[in-house]
Amino acid sequence: MIRIDISLGHLTPFTRDQVIRLMQTTSRYDCHVMFQHRHRTINGKSVLGLLSLGATGDEPVTVEFDGVDEAQAARDVQHLLEGGVQPEKDKQDAVFLLGVLKERLSTLMKDNLLGIYVHGSLAFDCFHWNSSDIDFLAVVRRPMTVEEKIAFVRTMEELSAEAPPKGFECSVMLESVCREMPFPAPYEVHFSNMWREAIRQDAEGYCSRENCTDPDLTTHVLSLRASCLTLLGPGPMKVFGSVRKDDCLHAMYLDTDRVQEQLDENPIYIVLNLCRAVAYRQGDMVLSKAEGARWAIRNMPSRFQGVIQAALNAYTEGREMYFNKDLAKDFGCVAVSMLLS
């Protein structure tokens, strides 16, 4: 059993929306959640119970967690309560942010901007605020100057304050490159959470790099040619040339270079990406992470169903993944061998 003591004076009495948000969180876990205030014990999974808590002022409230998921539940509920039980953001918040993004980049890049193309979970309609990033490619007519690149990454840094936890994953590409799609494809400038600190430290140095290429751009274009939200510009099939399957498989294989390490660091991403990579290798299917997992549950060895389902559940519910590490590593080896077969 785990107990946490917390002051809820700034929250109580709970509003209906706060109770719903709490319920969404506590109901994810296989454990009892009980609020204790004075001589009352209130079920943390009961709407009426939470509404009846009433005002607590500065008096401490003890929250007890007892069960299989007690540790994770305690962390998530404490984080939620300390953050003020804000309504959970969703796809509509991301769509609103895309509108702001379109306006900001259109103003910044003016007539050099040909189009903005959103791919990934938003395009496949499986976006989850806590576990998805916002993926897009911007296409320009002519090469960008260093100053233009700096202005772009600084704009993206400002917009990141309103983005999901995983942030933006975006690159700017030349129109001529998009039509030919060489491998690996060159790009003008890239922005993602991974590079934010480097940009803060030395934006000019970051944006002065030359001859930058990224093999992942091939799979991004493969994805957006299958499913895309066009914020600005001609349709994606008019802008992006077809990509070669061998190039895509090469890029997917490069993404598995450290698969055993990565399964420890980011198991959800690795398991789901391997699932859709194998689906593409075996069936020429371009799937979302969620679709790839469902395909793999049906088509990969049955002993891996639990690992794949755990990754899918964690992804769709925006929480950590609990799994058998040895089985996950076995899955990684088998998936890579299937990708190469």
| pLDDT at residue number 222 | 98
Report the C-alpha dihedral over residues 19, 24, 30, 33, rounded to 10 degrees: -10
- The alpha-helical segments, DSSP class H, found in the chain are 16-26, 47-51, 70-82, 91-109, 146-159, 175-180, 196-201, 203-207, 216-226, 236-239, 245-254, 259-265, 267-283, 289-299, 305-317, 325-340
Which CATH superfamily groups domain 2-82?
A: HPr-like (3.30.1340.10)
Could you count the other beta carbons within 10 Å of the beta carbon of residue 199?
Answer: 20
Would you give per-residue pLDDT tens digits along the chain (341 residues)?
A: 999 998 887 787 888 778 888 887 888 788 999 999 888 899 998 888 888 888 777 788 999 999 988 888 898 888 888 877 776 788 999 999 999 999 999 999 999 999 999 999 999 999 988 889 999 999 999 999 999 999 999 999 999 988 988 899 999 999 999 999 999 999 999 999 999 999 999 999 999 999 999 999 999 999 999 999 999 999 999 999 999 999 999 999 998 888 888 888 889 999 999 999 999 999 999 999 999 999 999 999 999 999 999 999 988 887 778 788 889 999 999 999 999 98
Specify the 3-state DSSP secondary structure of 321. coil
CATH number of 91-244: 3.30.460.10
pLDDT of residue 223: 98
- Whole-angstrom CA distances from 17 to 85, 92, 131, 166 are 9, 17, 22, 25
Helix H or strand E segment including 5: strand 2-7
User: CB-side exposure of 54: number of CA atoms within 13 Å?
Assistant: 7
pLDDT of residue 169: 98
| pLDDT at site 174 | 99
Distance from chain centroid for Cα 59 = 38
pLDDT at 336: 94
Return the structure tokens found at 325. 């590490």
Domain boundaries, the chain: 2-82, 91-244, 255-340
Residue-level pLDDT at 79? 81
Round to whole Å and give the CA distance between 59 and 74: 20
